[in-house]
Structure formats: C-alpha cells, structure tokens
A and B are shown apart, each in its own frame.
Chain A
Amino acid sequence: MGLRRLTAEHAARTSVVLVGLGLPLVLTGAWWSARSSESTVTLRARVARDGGWLPAVVRAEVGVPLRLRLISDDVVHGFAIGRSAAPPIDLPPGQVVETTLEFSEPGTYTYYCTRWCGPDHWRMRGVIEVAGGDPGAATVEPPLYQTLGIDIDAPHSSDVVPQARPSARRGLALGVTLPAGNRTRQAFISKPPAETWAALRRSESTVGLSDAQVWDLVASLWRSTTTSEALKQGGELFAANCAACHGLDGTGRGVFAGRPADEESLAQAESPADFTDPARMLGASTALLQGKILRGGMGTGMPYWGPIFTEAQTWALADYLWTFQFEE
C-alpha cells in the first residue's frame, strides 16, 4: 500500500514538473529561437507614433534571399517595396505573414505601409540596405521640373479660368489641327494649362473659336497626350494613397485633412490642396504637379513619394489629377 502511494505521488510530481517547468521552458525556448534567428528577420509593423516599422533598417546582400516574418502589432498594415512591381502584402493584426525577397542590385530600397493606418501612415517607412554585387554606373536623371527650372514651391495661380468644365471630347470634335510642336506630350506637361490656353488663343488655328472652345482644345490636348491605362492607374493610385487627405473628390477634405499626425509633428499649416480649384490648378504645369508628388511639400504635411512610386506611376498620377479639372 505504502509503495503504491509512493509511486502515485512520484508519478504525479513528474507530471507537475513536466507541465510546470517543461512547458514554459519549451515555449520560451521556441520563442527565443524564433526571435534570434539569423536567417529570418522579424519585422513588426506599428502605427508611426508607436514606432512604425521595427526595425526600420534591414541589411541584405545581393543574391542572398532575405526571409522576412511580418507581423502587425495593432491595426491593418501593408508591406511593399518602393518602386517595385511586386504586389503589396496585407498584414492583418496579430497574424504572421512570411515572404522572401531577393535583390539583384545593391542600393537602398524603401519599404512602406500600403494600408492607411492613421494620419501619419505615410511616415511608416523603412530601408533595406543591400550590399555586395556590382554598383554599376547607374545615372539618375533629374526630375523634369528641375530640368525645366520650375520652382515648385512658388505660387501658381492662374488669372484665366474657364467658365465651365472643359471637355476633351468636345475639343476633339472641333476638328482643329494644331501645329505639331503643340501636340507633343512634352509640350503639354511642361507648361501650365493656362499658358497652353493663352498660346492657343493667340494662334491662328483657333481664330473664330470661343474662349470656352479653346479650353476644350486644351482638355483634348491633355487627353491625347496620356492613355486610358495611365488614367486608370492614376485613379487607383489616387484612391489608395491620396484620397485619405485630399478626398476622393479631390476637394482637399479627406478624412485626415487638417488633422495633425501627432502632437510632436508639425501641425498641418494648410489643408490639403483642392484639385477642383481652377485658379490654383490651371496655373500649374503637369511637371510641377509631378515634382510635388516626388518631393512633397515642406511644412505642409504632403508626403514625398519619390522612393515609393516609379517614374511612370508619378506621371500617371499627375495625368489623373487633371480629371478634377477636365472631362474626358
């Protein structure tokens, strides 16, 4: 009897030790080894005011696969590499998502959050420093606004504004043949529409047309120098990245308009631009708009999208902005 009780008690104690000590050790050990793994980088996503991406700098090497374990610690975030064709990865809160990246060229790659997670969502950016490989002689061309010498911070209001919304279809229907030099994309994007209108107004080919019809011609010039795909892409980019501040209707009254990102950051001195304001918009060239998208506005809360969008994407966005002024 005594021996049986002794054995039962010892069996019980062994179970307790297994559960009470073994279980925590196993779990903590698993957690620790996942944390300090050499081959996998754990990237935590938090809203910017709580730290943003942790870590904010990741090191990688050309040709060596970089395994990332992504996890959001608060709300829905997204992960994407700037200027990359790879689709973004959604990060539902608390769920681990794994991905593997591979870089063929060295450099600094920006990763950023792709789902609006708060007023300071656009500040959620980090960099991957990729070393090794052949640096190459990649020349970076200056943006068009710099080549043209446009001061993108200067005010750009226009005195001349159309009475009604110009329509590209109406302009095309006029059947006016414009000089070849005026019809190129380079010509259109380098000048503000108001200047284009003034030049067309002075031109012989528009004698007999009303002011409104010349505006329609300007609209048709815009439409003929861009493509449907670009406008569609621009619209998608606008809805995903700009509408939260500028509003889907472009009036500058988006959900985050006028809300400072946090107490420490600069309060937005101005509200986001109203793309439906003809006086403000028609005095700005597409190149200027593209420049602002690239560089952001100092002290206005406008993010800089240079590391995020490819050049084609920035032009698609700039082209799309004209849909707030012109009808297709």
Chain B
Amino acid sequence: MSSLDLTRLAFVRRLLVARGPQLAVQLALLAGLLIVILAGLLGTPVGSRNPATVLVWIAWWAALMLAFVPWLGRSWCSVCPLPLPGEWLQRGALLAPRGRGLGLGLRWPRRLRGMGLQNAAFLLVALFSLPVLTQPRLTAALLLGLGLLAIATSLVFERRAFCRYLCPVGGFIGLYAQAAPVALRVRDPRLCATHAPKTCYVGSAHGYGCPWQAYPPSLTTNVSCGLCLECLRTCPYDNIGVFLRPPGEDLRRAWRSLGEALKSLILLGSALVYAVVLLGPWNGIRSAAVHVGSAEWFAFAVAFLAVVLGVVPGLFLLAVRVASGPRAESGDALRRLAPSLVPLGLAAWAAFSVSFVLANISYIGPVASDPLSLGWNLFGTAGVAWSPLGGGWTFWLPPALLAGGLAWSSHRIRRAADGLQGGLRLAAPMLTLALTVSVGMLWVFVG
C-alpha cells in the first residue's frame, strides 16, 4: 500500500511546475488538431488516407486507451487542445495570471451538474459514431463543433466547464483513470484544514484556481482531476504532490453518487455494443449503424440505448438485489460493488481497440507525409503500403486482455463484498455477472 511521491524529486517538481514544457506539448497537439480539422474538411474522403480519421481514431485513440488513461490517469486532459483557445481567452494569458481575461465567468447551473450531460454527450456521439469514425469530413465537423462549443462555454462560464460537464470523452477518461497508478493528491490534509484562503481553489499570482472545480484536499479519486497542475503552482505550502501507487487504489472506495455507477455501466455496455457492431460477424448491424437516418439505424439506436441504459444496468441491479437479499440497503451495496467492474470495462475497451489499431497503425506514415492528398511526401512515407502489425498471436490479445481485466475485477468484487461483510455469498452474483459479460465479449471477439 505504499505510494511514491514523484514530486519529492526536485527535477520532477520543476518540470511539472514550469509552464513552458506543458505549453509546448499543448501547442504541438493544437497544431495536430488544426491539421486534422483542415485535412478532414479539405483532404480526401478516403478514411485510410486522411489524417482526420487516422490520427484521431487510430493514433490518438490508441494512445489514450493503451497509454494515457490506464497509466497516467487523466493526463490527456492536461494537454488536450480542444479547450485551450477558450481557456486562453478566458484567462487573458497563456502562462501565469495577468489579470482579467474575457468572458462572463458564470457559475455552471446547479441543475446541469453531475454526470447526466456527459453521459448524454457520449451516447449521442456513440449513436453517430460509425459514419463519424469512417468519414474524415464528419470527424472534422465533430472536432470543430466541439472546439467551438468549448470556446463558447469558456466565454460564458467559469473555469473548464466544457471539460467537466460536456466533453463526450471526459466521462470515459475520468472513469477509467481510477485504475491508473498516477494520482495527484494532497500530502497532509490536516494542513489544508487549517489553511483558510484555499489558494488551490481560488488561485493566486502564481496560478489559477482549479479549473476542474475540484477542491484538492477532497480529491480521493482520479475522476475529477485533470492533472493541469495549477494547484502545484498555487499551494503556498507545497502540500500537493503527484504520487505513484499500485494500480486501482481508487477502486477500493465506494462511489458517492449513483450517477457514477450508471456511467460505468453505460460504458461497459457500450464496449460490448461497439465490439458487436464493429468487430462482430453481423454485417446487417454494421450496415444499420452506418446508415444514419434510415429505419434500420433507428432500430439500432433503440437497441443500443436499451442495452446500455437498460439491460446492463438492469442485470447489475439484479445481481445486487440477489446478493443483498431482502435486506433494505442495496444502495450501499451498489455503490461499493460498482467500482469493481471498472477494470473489466477498461480491459473491454482496450481489447476492442487493440486489434484494429495494430492492423491499421501503418496508415500513419502515408497520412503524415501527404495530409491534404496533394501528392506531397513530407517524410518520405507517402508510399508506405498497408502492413498490419503482428502475426497470428495478435488474435489472442483481446481475449488475454479480457482475462486480465476479469481477474482484476474478480479480485475487486471479493474485496468489495468483504467491505460489506458479505463474503462469497454476496460476491457470487456479481462474479457471475462479470463472467457473463466477459463471455459475451469473448464470443464477439473469437466466437
């Protein structure tokens, strides 16, 4: 249960507190975003030769799913280019605070807080995802739309309201970041209790108050911390550190809100649906999902929502009810047991992503050399042929990842059951649910 405080190392702290390196990475990604949007709008409509589809849904998605989220938590959010223009306008500065910026700075409406809007945004993108994933124009339109929305939100509301409440990927990243070993936490909470100004939340001359509307001393999980590192710069007592701990520490705690549990079940169900639609052998379903607006697509949309909002949460509730029996408080059981499915969900998404990413990663070369399909060859890789990575063993990667996630989740289920004083009798229905979902995904991958 030991954790290593990385920021005790002086060079690490200096690197993280300095604004220059962070800005450099942000600028590079902003350049990438602009190239992607332009290429999507002006370049070829062929998905495999356009940076919009290749760099976003293959390169970025792979990096997010397999590197950023499982290992570095919400680190993507600290360099994500989407909210940057809006944030810079809102702050009136790129580096340290320099007085007022633009914008109304309104508080986010109380009624619109929570997971609801983010879940809705994710589901909306998911319903239209097949044409968006495969057509560069639509990918560009989505990113442009999100970018403009982020700017508008920053000019009306305070802090990173877009990131916290609207970003379709934010819910996904926040949920699975809880499995990561890296976390930003307060070193000594007692010090914070006696510190009245709460500079970490309010801001100072050295930095801004938490853009994620999180109160650092109360950060117990990675869900709401975007690793922007402002609090490292503002805390006058250097009481905040970036820690390295065993993976999944955050999953030991019960979730406070049922919305969090619902989100985790929506995402687990979505992984299953995506696998069925994109990797399964049922051509008709894939065709229905891509022809947005048709009668088949409406049927697909209804089925999708029924599975992620109804079937999967329903089965989970059933498992909890069976386990708790006639006892009154199944809400507590729900909040305790729900986090244990996170590793399985993460593994399911990783398994889904890994096979088509490995197969298509060679598209990055041509797309980087000729982004607008004008006949350029910037890096000499324009003529690189499609070469899928890996031999026959890559077939077993998704099942292996699923098995790993299932093992981890099984462990967490037993532990959560212990926390409820329930033992194996309480864990058994949940283990059965986890196994059933895994078998379903396995069937789609290899059946």
| A–B contact (CB under 8 angstroms) | yes
Residues of A within 8 A of B (CB): 5, 8-9, 12-13, 15-16, 19-20, 23-24, 27-28, 30-31, 34, 69, 71-74, 93-96, 98
Contact B44–A5 (Cβ < 8 Å):
no
Chain A residues, Cβ within 8 Å of B38: 24, 27-28, 31
Chain B residues, Cβ within 8 Å of A28: 38, 42
B370 at the interface (CB under 8 A from A): yes
* Shortest Cβ distance from residue B197 to the other chain A in the assembled complex, whole angstroms: 22
| In the bound complex, CA of A19 to CA of B93 (Å) | 16
Contact of B44 among A8, A30, A71, A98 (CB under 8 A): A71
- Known interface pairs A8-B95, A93-B49. Does A73 touch B44 (Cβ–Cβ under 8 Å)? yes
Contact B373–A94 (Cβ < 8 Å):
yes
Chain A residues, Cβ within 8 Å of B45: 73-74, 94
Interface majority SS (helix, strand, loop, mixed), chain A:
helix
Chain B residues, Cβ within 8 Å of A96: 370, 373-375
Q: Which residue of A lies closest to B46 (CB)?
A: A94
| In the bound complex, CA of A96 to CA of B374 (Å) | 7
Contact of A23 among B31, B48, B88, B95 (CB under 8 A): B31
Known: A9-B93, A20-B30, A95-B373. 15 other contacts (CB 8 A): A8-B20, A9-B94, A9-B95, A9-B98, A15-B27, A19-B30, A20-B34, A20-B85, A27-B42, A30-B374, A31-B38, A31-B42, A34-B374, A72-B46, A98-B375
| In the bound complex, CA of A23 to CA of B27 (Å) | 11
Chain A residues, Cβ within 8 Å of B95: 5, 8-9, 12
Contact of B34 among A13, A24, A30, A94 (CB under 8 A): A24
B311 at the interface (CB under 8 A from A): no
Chain A residues, Cβ within 8 Å of B31: 19, 23
3 pairs of A and B residues whose beta carbons are closest in the complex: A94-B49, A94-B46, A96-B375
Contact A27–B372 (Cβ < 8 Å):
yes
Q: Which residue of A lies closest to B386 (CB)?
A: A92
Q: Which residue of B lies closest to A8 (CB)?
A: B95
- Known interface pairs A8-B95, A12-B23, A74-B45. Does A69 touch B35 (Cβ–Cβ under 8 Å)? no
Chain A residues, Cβ within 8 Å of B96: 5, 9
Chain A residues, Cβ within 8 Å of B44: 71, 73, 93-94
Contact B372–A30 (Cβ < 8 Å):
yes
| In the bound complex, CA of A9 to CA of B98 (Å) | 10
- Known interface pairs A19-B31, A27-B372. Does A94 touch B94 (Cβ–Cβ under 8 Å)? no
- Known interface pairs A93-B48, A94-B50. Does A16 touch B27 (Cβ–Cβ under 8 Å)? yes
| In the bound complex, CA of A94 to CA of B386 (Å) | 13
Contact B88–A73 (Cβ < 8 Å):
no
Pairs across A and B, CB under 8 Å, 7 listed: A8-B20, A12-B94, A13-B94, A16-B30, A24-B34, A69-B375, A73-B45
Chain A residues, Cβ within 8 Å of B370: 96
Chain B residues, Cβ within 8 Å of A5: 95-96, 98
* Shortest Cβ distance from residue A273 to the other chain B in the assembled complex, whole angstroms: 32
| In the bound complex, CA of A28 to CA of B95 (Å) | 29
| In the bound complex, CA of A322 to CA of B85 (Å) | 71
* Shortest Cβ distance from residue B403 to the other chain A in the assembled complex, whole angstroms: 38
Chain B residues, Cβ within 8 Å of A8: 20, 95
Kindly supply a per-residue 1/0 record for chain B positions 292-310, scoring 1 wherever the CB is within 8 Å of any chain A CB and 0 otherwise. 0000000000000000000
Q: Which residue of B lies closest to A96 (CB)?
A: B375
Contact B374–A31 (Cβ < 8 Å):
yes
Contact of B35 among A9, A13, A27 (CB under 8 A): A27
Chain A residues, Cβ within 8 Å of B50: 94
| In the bound complex, CA of A98 to CA of B44 (Å) | 16
| In the bound complex, CA of A34 to CA of B44 (Å) | 14
| In the bound complex, CA of A34 to CA of B31 (Å) | 22
